[in-house]
A and B are shown apart, each in its own frame.
Chain A
Amino acid sequence: MTQPIPWQMPAALALALFLLGLLGLLARKNLVFVLMSIEIMLNAAGLMFISAGMRWDNPDGQIMLIFVFNLAGAELALGLILLLRLRGRVTSLDSDAANLLRDAP
Chain B
Amino acid sequence: MTAVFYAVAVLALLTTGLAITRANPVHALLYFVVSLVFMGVIFFTLGAPFAAALEVIVYAGAIMVLFLFVIMMLALDKSNFQRERGWISRPIWLIPALLVAALGLELARLFAPGGSQAAARIISPQEVGLRLFTDYVGAVELASMMLLAGLVGAFHLGRKDP
Contacts and interface: CB of A to CB of B under 8 A. Distances in A.
Interface of A: 1-5, 9-10, 13, 16-17, 20-21, 23-24, 27-28, 30, 32-33, 35-37, 39-40, 43, 46-47, 50-51, 53-54, 57-63, 65-67, 69-78, 80-85, 87, 93
A4 B120 contact: yes
Majority SS at the chain B contact face: helix
Interface in B50-81: 50-51, 54-55, 58-59, 62-64, 66-67, 70-71, 73-74
B28 A65 contact: no
Given A13-B13, A54-B48, A84 B119 contact: no
B29 interface: yes
Interface residues of B, number: 62
A57 B36 CA distance: 23
A63 B132 contact: yes
Given A1-B116, A66-B54, A77 B48 contact: no
A77 B151 contact: yes
B47 A78 contact: no
A50 B51 contact: yes
Interface in B12-62: 12-13, 16-17, 19-20, 25, 28-29, 32, 35-36, 39, 42-43, 45-48, 50-51, 54-55, 58-59, 62
Interface stretch (B89-97, B98-106, B141-149): B141-149
B45 A80 contact: no
B70 A36 contact: no
Given A61-B48, A78-B150, 17 more contacts: A10-B9, A13-B42, A36-B20, A39-B67, A40-B16, A43-B36, A54-B46, A57-B123, A60-B131, A69-B63, A71-B146, A73-B150, A78-B153, A81-B157, A84-B70, A84-B74, A93-B74
